[in-house]
Structure 1
Amino acid sequence: MYDLIIRDANLIDGTGASARRADLAVVGDRIAEIGHIAPSLGHRVIEAAGLTLSPGFVDIHSHSDYHLLLQPTADSAVRQGVTLEIGGNCGYAAAPIWGPWLEERTATYRNLYGLDHAWQAVADYFARLEATGISENFGLLIGHNTLRGSAMGGANRPPSSQELEAMIEGARQGMAEGALGLSTGLVYAPACFSRPDELAMIAAAVREAGGILTCHMRSEGDGLIEAIDEIIGVAEKAEIPLQISHLKTSGERNWPKLHEALRRIEEARARGLDVSCDRYPYTASNTGLQAVLPDWALEGGQRDRTERLGNPAARARITQELTTHYPPDYWSRLMISEVTREENRRYEGLRVAEAAKLAETQPVHFVLDLLLAEQMQVDAIFFTMCEENLEAILAQPYAMIGSDSGCRGHEGPLSHGRPHPRTFGTFPRVLGHFVRERRLLDLPTAIRKMTWDPCRKLGILDRGHLQPGCAADLVLFDSATVSDRATYEAPLQYPTGIHHVFVNGVPVVESGEHTGARPGRVVRRA
């Protein structure tokens, strides 16, 4: 007898192969059989009636490290069909962490959410996730920014030999405890103060343990081509597989650079470098508002950065640089997404230019005032990309799908603000808009980009495709109706068309609703 049989499904196995009508049987947490299966052999039988059955979706670029401890049911993810998230991206990871960054993160999450930060090592963080119980599977990348901040704070200088060794040893230990690779965010502090040799040495240690390197590059706009050359050079020097995070061309003057960016990637692939990329299916990005500040203003810890905004001389210099660097209409392309203080919630959902008028000040002064009042804890959405380039990136055979978001829900501490709609809509948007409506991708190709491609890149060989013996991470959806509903104005909306989601053989979503089950596991490097 089988625990579950899904009958008469339009089965897409995740490898890119065409769909076929088939039944699938599950025993425990594994796929037991695919083919024609007598329904009398199942303790439970779901009649798919032509619905599409695929592997659960894999979010190769997420930021749920802390979110899963606050929203362990991962509602916004699993209701999209996501069964595995990869966290620790853009250089920021929950572990390993120690020293000044541990102190800073402990204070931040205690003050904002009352969260107890009782871990330092990857193994301890994984134990905390498992003790909490989560609804999806989760894998972790080690964060270069977190390593650097832990070893040397926010210092704007090369590391000493002892500091570099501490970073390398932290990466080695994290890999030994099950991390999947290393990520960096070279546009963010403190990694923005690092040079390629530093990153290459840490990456080489990760490569020895079988990991990959992912990168939010030093520039995705004016310095895009130079940034691609830099990170490809690091990966070739370290001889490590490379994943370029959320590939984009930011700023209208940089939109024409896409062809050259893709050419650089393809030349590296032709030389033998395992380089691929991921992208979310939207033309606006989302990050901290402090990203608009010059690098020098981000030196030091959070207190240093905040106090700098209150220093008249430093503030005057920042104001002058922002006024020179950004044209006046730039502030109409930034939306305040989330703040922490109640008196500032009136700005959520407003463009910076609109919010500045409400505050009766100039946009640059508004930005600095808000960052100071919020102790730098401000999220913003940046409308800087074009649809034509987005489609060109998604169509590349080496491009995968990632939300670049952390899981949320309609209730609890992560139900506030105006998060980017990618949080609730990334994977259904690919299936509905770009497959069914735009016909940019066929359905098997889109599924491959969301399942087997990321698992294969990460070395997770028992997930991401449908065959006997693989983990029973499954999503049953209606390809004719699946659609995202989240918008920039009203982002807290679950998608339609996702009928059932199974994580390790356990139903987490039934008839579009979360069951409350928490069968997720930590996915460690084999």
Structure 2
Amino acid sequence: MADLDIVIRNGSIIDGTGAPAFTADIGIARDRIGRIGDLSAASATLAIDAAGKAVAPGFVDVHNHSDGWLLKTPQLLPKTRQGFTTEVIMADGISYAPVDEGTSAEWIFYMRSLNALLFEEYEGWRSVADYMDRLDGRNAQNAATHIPYANLRAKICGFGRQVPDDFQLRLIVEEVEKEMDAGAVGLSTGLDYIAQCFSTTDELVEVAAAMSAQRGLYVTHVRYKKGTLQGIREAVAIGERARAPVHISHMKGTTPEEIDTILDYVDRSARQEVDFSFDVYPYLPGSTMLNFLLPFEVWEAGPISAMSRLTDSHVRRQFDRELANTKLDQSHIAWLPGKENSRHLGKTLAAYIDEVGGAGSPADVLCDLLIEEHLAVLLVFHHGDDDLVHPFLAHDCYMMGTDGIYFPDGVVHPRMYGSAPRLLGPCVRDHGLFSIEAAVRKLSGYPAERFGLQQRGRIEEDCFADLVIFDPDTVADRATYEDPHQFPVGIEDVFVNGVAVIRQGEEVVVDDLPDPLPGRWLKYHR
């Protein structure tokens, strides 16, 4: 009988702590790292020679939009092929839970161009914990979760502007406490998005304090529409008043001067002992729903009712003012569900408007498109210089969040396929932003520690065997804005809880994986 299930020999071990790499063997027994050292005499069911390769902890994506895809597909290949073994889901305060009978359809309708769940795929969940229970053992990746605030607020108060009264706030706090008890890592907000765009700072402090009492994170897409620095200041104030650690989602800056100002504020906050971190993907351009650009008032009665508001001339005039600040010639249609309009995928908004617009304004054309597609239009912006994000990537408070949005038939943002390899390869080899050990820490040890994922993100004996074998000399992203569905090079093997899900750069087919699948719901350890 073999001593070990798997032995990885002769690899350069990058343990996730930032410490220098060292050469040793790793032995995996069941779902754990059983032994590290000279295992030349040990027998194993599977032996892998990793000479010339790096062996790292599995990567953790702390910001993504994989919620629906983890439910729909047993292996989300664009992520596992990058080395991501854990997804922290329900970002930006918006997801498929918590819901009730009145809001479940609203959220499936609204999220169509982020996660693609259909009404018939709703399985009756109500709470975040209900949703996560369905993911456990259903996917090749682990998943941890936030509590998305918009869902919670809409469930208790509706989608409108009203501030929660004392009774409603008590109900919100009770739900937060329940979901934190069940294992959520923290509270997520997206203050430019539906429902929560109407939240007050005082309201957010009350809810964040309930979450913080159980040592979770306040994770926020700040009010970027009002200015990044102003939004970050509000987040820090919420954290200080609620005594909550603060994590900023997809930190943004568009000029070197703005980025310097933001990071100067971050550094000053850290010196004042603000518990602060942030994520960003290694690209400057972004991607979001076209309906994100609509005025907030459209959402007051919920997503389904918003459809009728799009015919309102007042709404269209407001939308035109927003579009005046959008580079229509550098923003393309990435995905929409309609077959008739699929011929426009990849076209810039400017080209689409010119082709179909007639005498209408840009807002007229795009509101008509949103009505045709039931709000479900995804955009990708591809303007700006990716090098501008390098100061964020090099900062000590940075960790990886891909913000990946996936549609296999869409012209999606390349971050869905290339974020981790770009950090490991070009950012280390070509730009010298940090060492390979620091890059691995930003992808594994730091996010696992920050988000309370116990015995993950490190290569140590008795840690869970989430591992990535890659070639540090060749690892690189290949996805582009024109052709995003290209897997990276240099990622050789990926293990989740001791099970190989990628071998020699190729998918391990689901039929060859154990049942249940190796991915687990990772609960926050306090």
TM-score grouping bracket, smaller chain normalisation: over 0.9
Which residue does 2:344 correspond to in 1?
347
Could you list the per-position Cα deviations for residues 452-500 of structure 1 after superposition, in whole angstroms to 9, with x for gaps in the alignment? 1001111223000100010000000111111111111111121111111
Report how far residue 325 of structure 1 moved: 4.2
Task: Tell me which residue corresponds to 1:122.
Answer: 128
- For 2:330 and 2:9, how far apart are their aligned partners in 1? 48
Q: Give 1:157 shift.
A: 2.1
Q: Which residue of 1 aligns with 2:259?
A: 258
In 2, Cα distance between the equivalents of 1:246 and 1:303?
A: 28
Aligned partner of residue 258 in structure 2, secondary structure: helix
CA separation of 1:103 and 1:360: change in aligned 2, threshold 3 A: closer
2:385 aligned with 1:389: no
For 2:159 and 2:328, how far apart are their aligned partners in 1? 28
Displacement of 1:180: 0.9
Deviation at residue 106 of structure 1 after TM alignment:
5.1
Other-structure match for 2:434:
441
Pairing partner for 1:451 from 441, 444, 454: 444
The residue that corresponds to 1:411 in the other structure is none
Offset of residue 192 of structure 1: 0.6
- 1:120-519 to structure 2, matched below 5 A, reads 120-130=126-136, 133-219=138-224, 223-250=227-254, 256-310=257-311, 314=312, 316-327=313-324, 330-361=327-358, 362-383=361-382, 385-406=384-405, 408=406, 414-515=407-508, 516=510, 517=513, 518-519=517-518
Distance in structure 2 (CA, Å) of the matches to 1:384 and 1:393:
18
Match of 1:112 in 2: 118
Q: Secondary structure at the match of 1:287?
A: strand
Contact 2:5 2:45 in 1 (8 A): yes
- Three-state SS of the structure 2 residue aligned to 1:58 is strand
Structure-2 separation of matches of 1:154 and 1:225: 27
Aligned counterparts of 2:326 and 2:222: Cα–Cα separation in 1: 25
Counterpart-to-counterpart distance in 2, 1:257 and 1:248: 9
Which stretch of structure 1 is more off in the superposition, 387-396 or 2-11? 387-396
Q: In the alignment, which residue of structure 1 is the partner of 2:88?
A: 86
CA distance in 1, matches of 2:149, 2:166: 16
CA distance in 2, matches of 1:423, 1:329: 23
Determine the C-alpha separation between the residues in 2 that align with 1:98 and 1:398.
37
Give the conservation status (yes or no) of the 8 Å contact 2:293–2:323: no
CA distance in 1, matches of 2:264, 2:470: 36
Which deviates more from structure 2 when the two are superposed, residues 223-232 or residues 260-269? 260-269
* Matching residue of 1:18: 20
Give 3-state SS (helix, strand or coil) of 1:3's partner: strand
Higher mean alpha-carbon deviation, 472-481 vs 257-266, is at 257-266
Q: Distance in 1 between matches of 2:452 and 2:71?
A: 25
Instruction: Give 1:365 deviation, angstroms.
Output: 2.3
Please tell me whether the aligned partners of residues 99 and 150 of structure 1 are also in contact (alpha carbons under 8 angstroms): no
Closer, same or farther: CA 65–38 of 1 in aligned 2, 3 Å: same
Paired residue secondary structure (1:461): coil
Residue 98 of structure 1 deviates from its aligned partner by 2.3
Contact 1:122 1:178 in 2 (8 A): no
How many pairs were matched up? 511
Cα gap change, 1:167 to 1:77, in 2 (>3 Å): same
Q: 3-state DSSP class of the match of 2:425?
A: helix
Cα separation, partners in 2 of 1:329 and 1:141, compared to 1, 3 Å: closer
Matched, 1:6 2:8: yes
Greater alpha carbon shift after TM alignment, 117-126 vs 421-430: 117-126
Query: Conserved in 2, the CA contact under 8 Å of 1:207 and 1:240?
Result: yes
- Corresponding residue number in structure 1 for 2:46: 44
Structure 1 residues not aligned, in runs of 5+:
409-413
Q: Can you list the C-alpha shifts for 1:397-451, whole angstroms capped at 9, x where unaligned? A: 1111111124x5xxxxx42211211111110111122112222221000000000
Q: Secondary structure at the match of 2:327?
A: helix
Change (3 A) 1:10 1:381: same
Change (3 A) 1:234 1:384: farther
* C-alpha distance in structure 2 between counterparts of 1:224 and 1:73, whole Å: 35
Distance between the aligned counterparts of 2:507 and 2:495, measured in 1?
A: 11
* Farther-moved stretch of structure 1 (183-192 vs 94-103): 94-103
Residue range with higher mean Cα deviation, 98-107 or 21-30: 98-107
- Measured in 2, the distance between the counterparts of 1:441 and 1:79 equals 23
Deviates more, 1:203-212 or 1:379-388: 379-388
Counterpart-to-counterpart distance in 2, 1:472 and 1:328: 48
Does the 8 Å contact 2:466/2:495 carry over to 1? yes
Deviation at 1:522, TM superposition (A): 0.6
Kindly indicate whether the alpha-carbon contact (under 8 Å) linking 2:16 and 2:444 is maintained by their aligned counterparts in 1. yes
Offset, 1:113 = 6.5
Compute the TM-score of the two structures, normalised by the length of structure 2: 0.93
Q: CA deviation at 1:39?
A: 4.5
Distance in 2 (CA, whole Å) between partners of 1:54 and 1:14 is 7
Q: Percent identity?
A: 34
CA distance in 1, matches of 2:248, 2:263: 11
Deviation at 1:299, TM superposition (A): 2.1
Q: Aligned-pair distance for 1:326?
A: 4.0
C-alpha distance in structure 2 between counterparts of 1:329 and 1:284, whole Å = 12
What amino acid is aligned across from residue 441 of structure 1 in structure 2?
F
Relative to structure 1, the CA distance from residue 180 to residue 269 in structure 2 (aligned partners, 3 Å threshold; closer, same or farther) is same
Contact kept in structure 2, 1:190 and 1:299, CA below 8 Å: yes
Give the deviation of 1:328 after TM superposition: 7.5
Secondary structure in structure 2 of the residue aligned to 1:501: strand
Alpha-carbon contact 1:62-1:86 (below 8 Å) kept: yes
Give SS of 1:260's match.
helix
Q: Which 5+ residue runs of structure 2 have no aligned equivalent?
A: none
Structure 1 counterpart SS, 2:332: strand
